[in-house]
Amino acid sequence: MVAAVAVAWLLLWAAACAQREQDFYDFKVVNIRGKLVSLEKYRGTVSLVVNVASQCGFTDQNYRDLQQLQRDLGPRHFNVLAFPCNQFGQQEPDSNKEIESFVRSTYSVSFPMFSKVAVTGTGAHPAFKYLIEISGKEPTWNFWKYLVAPDGKVIGAWDPTVSVEEIRPHITALVRKLILRNREDL
């Protein structure tokens, strides 16, 4: 009897150890049109996760640079994942529909947009809690950027004073690595 219990505990322990560690792509989010989306659909690609705002001093340059980055590298190997947030200076006050209309008409945004979320504090979306916990860096303003590898691991985090162009070499290196790995797997 004792041996059977010991074996059962050993099997449970082994199963717990075999479980994959949680990563960014394990979360579910709501897109800007209200549909539940699993971030799993982005696994295998490089992602730049950004909390965006429509009425911020950083808005124009960031949206232009993010869209250019998406055009240059995505969507097969890379995506900007944009999460509107109204926590900093109340600079994203509009509805999801108004936000989508603004970014599509003003910046021709083609990257995935998600519903407005909280990115800090107790009400922060679990995906952002994960990004903060893993990177050790919490957003303090709009256009905070997190670079996520194809396996869902957080590679880096930058505040809004760091431009998209300064981050581009890190993203490009990850995308190149992904393309080379995919070619080797063929």
Angle at which helices 59-73 and 164-185 pack, to 10 degrees? 20
Whether 18 has a pLDDT exceeding 50, the answer reads no
Residue 56 designated active-site: yes
pLDDT value at residue 17: 45
CATH architecture of 23-185: 3-Layer(aba) Sandwich (3.40)
What confidence tens digit (pLDDT) does each residue in 21-34 have? Answer: 899 999 999 999 99
pLDDT value at residue 3: 56
What confidence tens digit (pLDDT) does each residue in 149-177 have? Answer: 999 999 999 999 999 999 999 999 999 99
Nearest to 160 by CA among 142, 135, 138, 136: 142
Q: Where are the domains of the chain?
A: 23-185
Catalytic residue among 29, 32, 49, 56: 56
Q: Token match 């990177």: residue?
A: 135
Whether 2 has a pLDDT exceeding 90, the answer reads no
Half-sphere exposure of 107 (CA within 13 A, CB side): 22
What confidence tens digit (pLDDT) does each residue in 30-78 have? Answer: 999 999 999 999 999 999 999 999 999 999 999 999 999 999 998 899 9
